[in-house]
Structure 1
Amino acid sequence: MNRPALDYVPARSGPTVTSTTASLYQAAVDNIWGVVLIVLAVTCVAIGYAFLSVPSYTADSVVRVEYPTSNALGLDARSGRGSQEVVPKTLPSDAEMQIILSRTVLWPVIQKYKQDILVTPDQVPVIGRISELIAASRSSDEPMPAFLGLRSYAWGGEKIDVQTLQVPSRYINQELTLRALADQRYEVIDKNGNTLIEGAAGSLAQKDGVSILVSQLVARPGTEFMVERLSEYSALQRFGKQVKASEPQKESGVVQISYENKDPKLAQDVTNAIAQTYIASHVDQRRTEAGSTREFIQSELPRLKEELKRTESNLSEYRTDADSMTPSSEADSYLKSTLDIDKQIAALDMQRTQVASRFGPGTRDIQTIDEQLGLLKQQKAQLESRFSQLPESDRRAADLTREAKVAESIYVAMQGKSNELDVTRAGTLGNVHLVDSALFPSEASKPKRLVVIASGLVAGLLLGMLFVIYRKLTSRSIVLSPDAAEYHLQLPVFGTVGFSAEQARLEDSPIRTARMLSQRAGVPPSDKTALVLSADTQNEGAIEALRAIHASLMRDIERTGSNVLAIVGAAPGTGKTFVASNLAVIHAHAGNRVLLIDGDLRRGKVATEFGLPNDIGLADVLAEKQEIDRVIQPCAVPGLSVISSGLPPANPSKLLSTTRLRLLLERLAPHYDLIVIDTPAVLAASDAVMIAATAGSAAIVVRPGVQTEDELGETTRRLDLAGARVAGAIFNAMPKRRSEKRMHPYPSHYSDPSRRGHSPA
């Protein structure tokens, strides 16, 4: 198993809140321009919506709901006389709010203000709205001229008022086109392009079931408007979304009615109309109920009068026959005890008769009255049992007196209630009253421009952060975060090499191109200058980073007892040859003997880097075609020798799988301080795995955008299975991140000769 050569312990056992926040912050700084563009775009959209959307105005009125009359007959069940209304536990505000939003209240308002007829000018999105705003700022009443030849669209300044629109059922809830013609004329066209009717403004036009009256039309000839006649259901659904009824304070009895519309005057008028219609419907309902109750009372008064006469006659006859006008004290006590109960029973009987005329026998109201009657009759029976020893004459007199008094009480109360209901039926008051009428809304309720713009700014920031997170999660490579490699792969990172513009220049130099052409032609290069960054360039940030990496690697190699180092990479293009060549040159500059071997037998480039011939090399030694001494070549760097790859063999993997490579390295190791082997990509061929297993240590080169985290993990797994010792990783060609901008000026400050100088004494 591969083990990190350094005594490396991850700085943390897992992502923490602090590390995650710092990582997101770095990603945000690195993608700052993307975030800025997103924020600007979303904020501009919000600003456009805030200033270009058609404003809406809200008007509101306030009504007060009082406690309703609970006993329509006005009888007190305990006394049988006219009484104060029983106060319910809560106000019926919820029920009243539902009534306000009911069809009975809203439909008359919809018809009065033509809210079942929709008329909208046909506009070009956004541009048409801007033109409309420009037209509104002009002093002229003429419509705006057509832009770009689009004459059918409305560009601002148009006016139209459709008073009446009747269409056959097949055109209900269907948009029709009203096209303005010359001389205040117009035509209505269906969706198939058929002309349904033609007419002139100010005159009622009728044809084939279509009836329309346009009272005003100001528009260029050819301008089109969309007109639609809504069904009652659709009109109520649409109108109901604009109306709100709410109780600002629970159980206060105060209900607020609000209506929203693009026309402020219409919003005011409609709100007042809803409140007035609601109050009028409430008064009408109260009148209807009062009339129904009065009719019942009037039908019962003759019977109650006859009952009163009968009871009084019976009492008078009994007293005459018994020759007694004053009851005994015991009879008087019996009379008083049963009188109240009989009055309650009589009152409940009257209420039951009225309720039974409106509801069925099994309803809750009748069941409640029946339960109360049962309890009263039970109480009456108990009282009568207490006076069972009362003499028959006294008992008879008391009963007749009680019946007369109960009949009189009920009759008088019903007469009074009848007179009261006459007043109620003729009056205009209910238990709902208007508190405040709707005022003209001078300011728009929607959109709230500052709120919309602030929301757009916040939304832009959130989308920008989502963009950053998305970029971070979907990145092809983990190389932008060496810490992630250390944590996820338990792989020490020796250092990072920044992108070098000088190295890019060397790779594109004409000398390199000429060398490649010479090698293909089999001609030795004439220029043996080393095209290696560290060979001639001393004051370069990338070289400083490579020197630091070289120092760490040398300490690591000293612990292993082996001086053979393989430079590997997961995929082609990571910069393995660049790292291997520069590490070899840096070590040679320190006065050491270094051997650089090109182990990429398929596409070796080391010979090109140092201007050496590549006709013989490592492939010939492994194939036993050449002796080792013949393939070792000196180069322009003192102390550095090179073994090129040689001509590509037929089967490189077969050559590397033998013991010849191990024996070759064992033979060469005592003669050099360091042997560096450049290898092909691990995932492209098995050659690098075999070389790394033979070498003492292996360092993985990682480059942004070249390999994914999974590919890097697979590389370490293959090296581990082959028994290779992975010392760590080297991050190559790292881009300058905005989040690390303070880390970059320091090397350039010391490497730039123009910034050098002496400090004042």
Structure 2
Amino acid sequence: MARQTTHTATSAEAHRSYAPGQDDKGDDFINLGEIVATLFEYKWLILAVTTAAVAVGVFVALVSTPIYRADALLQVEDKSAAKGGIAALRDVEAVLGDSTSVAAELEILRSRMILGRVVERLNLTVVAEPKHALIIGSTLARRHGDADELAAPLLGMNSYAWGGERITLQSLEVAPDLVGLPLTLVAQDGGHFQLFDEDDQLLAEGAIGAPVNGERVSLFVAELLARPGTRFDVMRRSQAEAIATLRDALEVRERARQSNVIEAAFTGPDRAQAAAILNEVLNAYVRQNVEYRSAEAESTLKFLEAQLPELKSELDTAEAAYNNYRQNRGSIDLTMETQSMLSSIVKVDNDIVVLQQKRDELRQRFTAEHPQVQSVDSQIARLRALRGTLDKDVSRLPDTQQTALRLHRDVEVSTALYTNLLNSAQQLRVARAGTVGDVRIIDSAVTARLPIAPRKALIVLLSGVLGGLASLGIVWAIRALRVVVEDPETIERELALPVYATVPESKAEEEIDRRIKRGKGTGELLAVTHPDDSAVESLRSLRTTLHFALLGADRGSVLITGPAPGVGKSFISKNLAAVLAQGGKRVIIIDADMRKGHIHKEFDLPRNGGVSDFITGGTTLESIVRQTSVPGLSVVTTGQIPPNPSELLMHERFAALLQSLEAQCDVLIVDAPPVLAVSDAAIIGRLTGAALMVARAGRHPIGELEQAVKRLGQGGVSVKGFVFNGLDLQRQRHRFGYQGYHYQYKYSA
């Protein structure tokens, strides 16, 4: 079997740090091992904060109001394509407009014109809903499954709604100063209710199904299902506010580029209402589109119908003048040449009218210098020149032929204009009767079965991530504010004193302490019950190096103290004494902490009959030295707790006590009180051969240790070195490049 050994570096050289990439200053090197070690050191804090954040995330995910999404599809048809099958309507295509712009239709869908109609039709300016308790009230109400039965109030809070409550407020008119302000409706017995303002002033009271008219409020409650005393939040919003709220929840976009298909969606907490509102938006939009297209044809038709009587009158006048001339002059037959000339003149006049109309349309978009306008002007000029030539030909005809030609021309032109206008009017009547609009609903609004928000898994995941980041921030803050000594190298570098031993934490010793405090264990010593513990092995190393601490000393006693309470000086004293005794030395340990000394408990000895009793002359030297169960180890307890420990330690009998005990043993260990707490250690230190200071990892700022050394120095006591106690080996496993080394070598089968 291999013997277990533990080695701890004991000199300044042994504790010097070594980390790849780090120079002697070690200023800018990022030690990943130190980071990992810190995370393991604070693993329970990190776990607690992260768990708390996840718990908050789960709670938020459970109590958040679910948001549902309803969606629908619209198709925007190309106007010219829509009319392509009706050849008779092509003549009025310019009147009815060009192809529809999808971008324009998206803006129309979100316009106040459309949304205002929806708000009015669905009465969205009136808000009425049950008042729920904070945080969990709405969640419990949603989980109430029975719609016909009211849920029992939680903890007697009858004023809140807990599930099953309903209200239908068909109308609510308020004074201008109450618009947008929250009102409270309270259910009463017998189907009655009261309405209060935000200052709890009564505004109105009435019964269900009856109109209520007050000075500042008028309302009609069609349905109210609630316990007496249940409150409802009521508000009359302005139309602009209702439209803005509706627009925020409405989303419209073209589904694919140039697809002419619009996807509309509406989100809200009420699953049924989301689909109802979106369907109403689509219906209002389709109705508006049909009305707009019909209005175009209607307005043009009205204009044409207003022009038809005037043209009919002109036609009748021209026919009458022509007939009268023929009656007065007799039957006049136009020659073939005259008839041909008449046809040319009529055609030229009609072409000039058409080109003039085209020029007027172009001038609305372009200047007179535009090539298209100039092209039409040149065509009109040619036709007018042709008409001048025809007029010259007409002037060469006889007078009777000229007059007949002019009158007959007027009849032909008026007839053509009237006939064309009459045809256009009839086509517009057909278009108005058959207008169906440029948009149609492909898919009506349907609400998804599951809510789109909150995304519970994402909330929990993000809360865990944020909790982890917050815990890391807390750890960083703690480490930034924690200016304490974590490794023995800092003591050697800052104080120029050696660290004789680095004693790791001992779980076994912690268990022994717990049993002693509970009164379930006495007389236990780690060096005896757990001789293979790492802390005991470190003390064996200290046993070896203690020889160097006593070199040059004229006395064989060692003072063991610490800067503050709770650093483990008594643990070091008693177990070091046991290790020395096990090594064949005669050892006596004195508990000189006559304020809070407790070494007698570990050895299961009474406190009385110790140092204080000897100094006061109450007992003899032989009676206060008590043999323990460890061969070669004796203990001197504190004795009765005196009222003046410092004065007692300054007595000459205490110095004589130390001299006598030193003569009886090889090593005398004196366990003294903390240096910075009382002056006892400085008094005792002048009477011992060497003084060792116990420091605990992660407990002291370097300034505290420096002050403790200085305090002893002022008392004439020179500190030989330190014992670094409580090193966390679990943490050091992850510190690649730890300043100091610790190895274990245990028995194995």
Structure 1 distance, partners of 2:516, 2:382, is: 135
d(CA) in 2 for partners of 1:160 and 1:20? 60
Give the whole-Å Cα distance in 2 for the aligned partners of 1:374 and 1:598.
117
Partner of 1:614: 611
The superposition leaves residues 62-88 of structure 1 with CA deviations (integer Å, 9 ceiling, x where unpaired) of 12345689xxxxxxxxxxx99999999
Letter in 2 for 1:206: N
The number of residue pairs the alignment matches comes to: 616
- For residues 198-597 of structure 1, the aligned pairs below 5 Å read 198-286=205-293, 347=358, 349-353=360-364, 369-370=366-367, 373-374=368-369, 376=371, 400-401=385-386, 428-439=435-446, 441=447, 443-447=449-453, 451-452=455-456, 455-456=459-460, 459-460=463-464, 463=467, 466-467=470-471, 470=474, 474=478, 484-485=486-487, 493-498=502-507, 499-503=509-513, 533-534=524-525, 538-540=528-530, 544-557=533-546, 562=551, 567-594=560-587, 596=589
Q: State whether residues 182 and 221 of structure 1, in contact with CA within 8 Å, keep that contact through their aligned partners in structure 2.
A: yes
Question: 1:217 aligns to what SS in structure 2?
Answer: strand
Instruction: Provide the residue aligned with 2:726 in structure 1.
Output: 731
Deviation at 1:109, TM superposition (A): 0.6
Cα pair distance change 1:488/1:173, threshold 3 Å = farther
Match of 2:696 among 690, 702, 709: 702
1:115 corresponding residue in structure 2: 124
**Deviations, residues 516-535 of structure 1 (Å, cap 9, x unaligned):** xxxxxxxxxxxxxxx87439
Q: Does residue 182 of structure 2 align to residue 175 of structure 1? A: yes
Cα distance in 2 between the residues matched to 1:237 and 1:446: 22
Task: Please give the alpha-carbon distance, in whole angstroms, between the structure 1 residues aligned to 2:383 and 2:273.
Answer: 71
- Which of 40, 43, 46 is equivalent to 1:28? 43
RMSD after superposition:
6.1
- The one-letter code matched in structure 2 to 1:502 is I
Equivalence for 1:137? 146
Letter in 1 for 2:512: E
Q: Is the 8 A contact 1:164 1:214 kept in 2?
A: yes
State the TM-score, normalizing by the size of structure 2. Answer: 0.63
Cα gap change, 1:476 to 1:68, in 2 (>3 Å): same
Alpha-carbon shift at residue 616 of structure 1 (Å): 8.6
User: Residue type matched to 1:571 in 2?
Assistant: A
1:218 deviates by 3.4
Call closer, same or farther: CA 1:641–1:375 in 2, change over 3 Å: same
The separation in 1 between residues aligned to 2:637 and 2:158, in whole angstroms, is: 78
Q: Which runs of 5+ in 2 are unaligned?
A: 1-9, 23-28, 81-91, 315-336, 345-350, 390-412, 494-498, 735-745
- Once the two structures are superposed, residues 36-86 of structure 1 have per-residue CA deviations (whole angstroms, 9 ceiling, x without a partner) of 96378446525743xxx66544322212345689xxxxxxxxxxx999999
| Shift in Å, 1:248 | 3.6
8 Å CA contact retained: 1:165, 1:211? yes
Quick check: 1:636 aligned with 2:645? no
Q: With structure 1 as the length reference, what TM-score do the two structures score?
A: 0.62
| Shift in CA distance, 97/7, structure 1 to aligned 2, threshold 3 Å | same
Q: Secondary structure at the match of 1:681?
A: coil
Residue 59 of structure 2 corresponds to 45
- 1:132-171 correspondence to structure 2 within 5 Å: 132=141, 136-137=145-146, 141-144=148-151, 150-171=157-178
Shift of 1:277: 1.4
AA matched with 1:115: L
Return the match for 1:100 from 88, 97, 109. 109
Instruction: Give 3-state SS (helix, strand or coil) of 2:252's partner.
Output: strand
Q: Cα 1:701–1:345, aligned 2, differ >3 Å: closer, same or farther?
A: farther
Task: Label 1:442 to 1:95 Cα distance change in 2 as closer, same or farther (>3 A).
Answer: closer
The CA distance in 2 between the partners of 1:533 and 1:431, in whole Å, is 96
Q: CA deviation at 1:244?
A: 2.0
Structure 2 counterpart SS, 1:212: strand
Contact 1:159 1:216 in 2 (8 A): yes
**Structure 1 counterpart SS, 2:627:** coil
**Alpha-carbon separation, structure 1, partners of 2:297 and 2:649:** 110
Letter in 2 for 1:648: P
Aligned position for 1:7: 14
Shift of 1:698: 3.6
Describe the superposition over 1:89-129 as per-residue Cα deviations: whole angstroms up to 9, x where unpaired. Answer: xx954443333222211111111111111111234457755
Cα separation, partners in 2 of 1:250 and 1:184, compared to 1, 3 Å: same
Aligned residue number for residue 315 of structure 1: none
Change (3 A) 1:534 1:431: same
Q: Deviations over 1:327-367 (max 9, x none)?
A: xxxxxxxxxxxx9xxx99985653444xxxxxxxxxxxx6x
Q: Is the Cα–Cα contact under 8 Å of residues 245 and 256 in structure 1 kept in the other structure? A: yes
Specify every segment of 5 or more residues in structure 1 that has no aligned partner in the other structure, as ranges: 70-80, 307-318, 327-338, 354-365, 385-394, 512-530, 656-660, 741-749, 752-757
1:715 to 668, 693, 705: 705
Partner amino acid for 1:538?
V
SS at match of 1:177: strand
With CA pairs under 8 Å and 6+ residues apart, which has the higher RCO, 1 or 2? 2
* Distance apart, 1:181 and its partner CA: 3.8
**Partner Cα distance (1:476, 1:708) in 2:** 15
Q: 1:689 touches 1:719 (CA, 8 Å); kept in 2? A: no
SS of the equivalent of 1:179 reads strand
Structure 2 counterpart SS, 1:581: helix
What's the % identity of the aligned pairs?
24
Q: Structure 2 vs 1, CA of residues 198 and 380 (structure 1 numbering), >3 Å: closer, same or farther?
A: closer
The 1:435–1:502 alpha-carbon spacing in structure 2 relative to 1, beyond 3 Å, is closer
Q: Distance in 2 between matches of 1:588 and 1:282?
A: 105
Deviation per CA, 1:563-610: give whole Å up to 9, x if none.
876534342122212312321232123112446566769877778987
Q: 1:66 to 1:669 in 2, by over 3 A?
A: farther
